[in-house]
């Protein structure tokens, strides 16, 4: 079983963003598996970078789409995105410099953040796309 499984309850009701969230889950699993399997920095580094880069792409896509709706919480939503992006970039720096990391706590941090953000914050935009 994958470390992070998609569940239909994570759906935000916008097909495009469900797809992007599934891809984030997939990239999180790839990064987690690479760490868990004890792969070298040459493998773990790029999987981490891919996750961080795609996270930035996804956030930009959401923010752009939301700006075209009457969604009222965009500023706060962006703040959450920016905070997480900074944390993810810190993580990337650690991983790329080969600093020892605690795999389970990184995995759980990423997974919990994504679940909480999707279910708590992203779901508040559902009705602005219907």
In the complex, the residues that contact Fe ion under the rule CB under 5 A are: 62, 122
Which CB atom, from 108 or from 121, has the smaller least distance to Fe ion?
121
Distance of CA 50 to the CA centre of its chain: 11
Which CB atom, from 44 or from 88, has the smaller least distance to Fe ion?
88
Q: How far is the CB of 121 from Fe ion (least distance, A)?
A: 6
Query: Which residues in 37-61 are b (16+ Cβ under 10 Å) and which e?
Result: eeeeeeebbebbeebbebbeebbee
- Spell out the residues 6+ positions from residue 51 whose beta carbon is closer than 8 angstroms to its own: 24, 27, 28, 30, 31, 88, 110
Distance of CA 92 to the CA centre of its chain: 13
Q: How far is the CB of 41 from Fe ion (least distance, A)?
A: 29
DSSP at 119: I
Q: How far is the CB of 38 from Fe ion (least distance, A)?
A: 31
**Nearest position to Fe ion, beta carbon:** 122
Q: How far is the CB of 4 from Fe ion (least distance, A)?
A: 14
Which CB atom, from 104 or from 112, has the smaller least distance to Fe ion?
112
Which CB atom, from 84 or from 96, has the smaller least distance to Fe ion?
84
Instruction: Please state, in angstroms and rounded to a whole number, the distance separating the CA atoms of residues 112 and 130.
Output: 27
């Amino acid at each position: 079983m994958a470390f992070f499984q998609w569940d239909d309850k994570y759906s935000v009701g916008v097909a495009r963003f469900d797809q992007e969230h599934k891809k984030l889950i997939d990239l999180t699993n790839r990064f987690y598996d690479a760490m868990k399997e004890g792969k070298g920095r040459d493998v773990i580094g790029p999987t981490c970078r891919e996750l961080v880069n795609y996270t930035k792409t996804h956030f930009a896509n959401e923010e752009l789409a939301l700006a075209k709706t009457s969604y009222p919480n965009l500023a706060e939503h962006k703040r959450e995105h920016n905070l997480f992006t900074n944390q993810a970039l810190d993580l990337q720096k650690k991983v790329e410099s080969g600093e020892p990391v605690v795999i389970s706590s990184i995995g759980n941090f990423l997974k919990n953040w994504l679940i909480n953000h999707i279910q708590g914050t992203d779901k508040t935009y559902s009705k602005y796309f219907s």
